[in-house]
């Protein structure tokens, strides 16, 4: 284990900020953990929410996404937090600076109705883009612990607020990867905007 990786232990769950040294743990989690009741080759490796400009990027196969993910983690292009139990990754939260991610694949494709003006040079916004929890570990508060770490570190790093984009209505685990509305309400978020199918929820940090 890397000695200088930040660790937080809450009950038997350990939350670690993703750093390049944890790339193998990250890849193994996506290699081995089913995230939805879908075909095997849908494994995303969470490459679509990142600071890279998606224009011309080929994400068409599992192998390509896996290779890109390893490079992204080692380059701090994918950012977020891993949840560990007994030394194995059981959860993931993708959280990054909003203004840095508006050219990534999923923002371009799905987030056109989300206001961008709140993220300016004078206002730093941390966006929560995705949760993935191992099936056997769901409903044990892991997403809440991951979100708590996002908010705590964002405050320490000088962000003004944390922003999230949950669906208004629950569909299934695959469609609701941004987390449920209730998770954010319990963590002190409020609705600041809404689109046809999403709420924009914020938690001020100052």
Q: Is the pLDDT of residue 73 over 80?
A: yes
Say how far apart CA 31 and CA 129 lie, in whole Å: 20
Contact of 162 with 205, CB cutoff 8 Å = yes
pLDDT single digits (tens) 25-35:
999 999 998 76
DSSP codes, 14-62: EEEE--GGGHHHHHHHHHH---SSS-GGG--TTTTSSSS--TT----SH
Q: In the numeric block, which tokens belong to residue 157?
A: 């790093």
- 99: which residues sit within 8 A by CB, 6+ positions away? 116, 119, 120, 125
Of residues 151 and 169, more confidently modeled: 151
Band of pLDDT at residue 172, cut at 50, 70 and 90: low
What end-to-end distance do the CA atoms of the chain give, in Å? 35
pLDDT at 3: 36
Q: In the numeric block, which tokens belong to residue 184?
A: 């954010």
Alpha helices in the chain (DSSP H): 23-32, 62-74, 105-110, 142-156, 181-186
Say how far apart CA 7 and CA 91 lie, in whole Å: 15
pLDDT at 36: 60
* Least confident range of 82-96, 134-148, 159-173: 159-173
Band of pLDDT at residue 10, cut at 50, 70 and 90: very low
Q: Is the pLDDT of residue 6 over 70?
A: no
Q: What is the mean pLDDT of the chain?
A: 89
pLDDT at 12: 85
Q: Is the pLDDT of residue 85 over 70?
A: yes
Q: In the numeric block, which tokens belong to residue 16?
A: 């670690």
| Residue 33 backbone phi and psi in degrees, to 5 | -110, 120
Of residues 170 and 44, more confidently modeled: 44
**Surface-to-core class of residue 88, CB atoms within 10 Å of its CB (0-12 exposed, 13-18 middle, 19+ buried):** middle
pLDDT at 39: 47
pLDDT at 34: 76
Distance of CA 133 to the CA centre of its chain: 11
Taking residues 60-81, what's their average pLDDT? 96
Taking residues 103-109, what's their average pLDDT? 93
Could you tell me what percent of the chain has a pLDDT over 70?
Answer: 86
pLDDT at 1: 42
Contact of 135 with 34, CB cutoff 8 Å = yes
Band of pLDDT at residue 120, cut at 50, 70 and 90: low
């Amino acid at each position: 284990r890397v000695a200088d990786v930040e660790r937080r232990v809450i009950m038997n769950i350990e939350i670690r900020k993703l750093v390049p040294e944890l790339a193998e743990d990250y890849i193994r989690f996506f290699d081995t953990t089913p995230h939805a009741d879908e075909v095997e080759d849908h494994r995303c490796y969470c490459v679509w929410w990142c600071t890279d400009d998606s224009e011309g990027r080929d994400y068409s196969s599992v192998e390509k996404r896996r290779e890109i993910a390893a490079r992204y983690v080692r380059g701090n292009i994918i950012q977020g937090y891993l949840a560990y139990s007994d030394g194995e990754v059981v959860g993931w939260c993708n959280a990054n600076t909003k203004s840095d991610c508006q050219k990534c694949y999923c923002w371009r494709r799905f987030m056109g109705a989300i206001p961008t003006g709140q993220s300016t040079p004078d206002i730093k916004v941390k966006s929560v883009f995705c949760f993935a929890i191992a099936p056997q570990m769901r409903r044990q508060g892991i997403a809440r612990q991951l979100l708590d770490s996002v908010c705590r570190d964002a405050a320490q790093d000088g962000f003004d607020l944390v922003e999230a984009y949950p669906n208004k209505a629950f569909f299934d685990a695959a469609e609701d990867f941004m987390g449920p509305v209730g998770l954010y309400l319990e963590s002190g978020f409020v609705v600041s905007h809404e689109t046809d199918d999403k709420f924009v929820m914020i938690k001020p940090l100052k």
